[in-house]
Homo-oligomer: A and B are copies of this chain.
Amino acid sequence: MIDNMILGFLFKKAMSGYEIKQMMGMSTGYFIDASYGSIYPALKKLEDQGLITAAETVENGKFKKIYTINQAGKAVFLRWLSGPIPLPRRGLEHLLRLFFFGLLPIEQVKELIQNLLADLKAAQAATEGLEPLIKDKADFFEFATQQFGKDFYRFMIQWYQDFLERLEDRV
């Protein structure tokens, strides 16, 4: 997964591991945000597999390794990109919590959901805050990904707000 994400970023532009992480933070960050502990080993592995090549440079005294994707790497990436799109699975841990909330006092459940709503609104605001940063750089699909984030958070907030109301109306 992370391998393909890296190949995808390098497809667009040659970059260092550090830069890849920055790019992720301002684009895919709200749904996938890999750590350096997975990025650097993945880069090494991809280099060993002959899919990317590294150029070591020194800029302003800072040691940097700029990775470039080659034809083999592009082929691997496009094969992955052409496969069937998987349905969303896992990452929906909140549902596991919801599923068992019958075991908790109702007042505590309400509080937990109100906290979730606050977190969702903060995440929504953060995603919207990123929009101006990418607006001129992003292509149609990158922009759509960002849009999905906004729409998804709106859906989640709406759903849990409705749910809270249903919870009140109960009994």
Contact = CB atoms under 8 A, between A and B. Distances in A.
Given A104-B78, A140-B170, A94 B85 contact: yes
Interface string A95-119: 1111111111000100011011001
A104 B89 contact: no
Contact of A81 (B33, B90, B97): B97
Contacts of A92: 31-32, 88, 91
A156 interface: yes
Interface string A20-47: 0000000110011100000000000000
B87 A123 contact: yes
Interface of A: 1, 4-5, 8, 11, 27-28, 31-33, 77-78, 81-82, 84-104, 108, 112-113, 115-116, 119-120, 123, 139-142, 144-145, 148-149, 151-152, 155-156, 159, 163, 166, 170
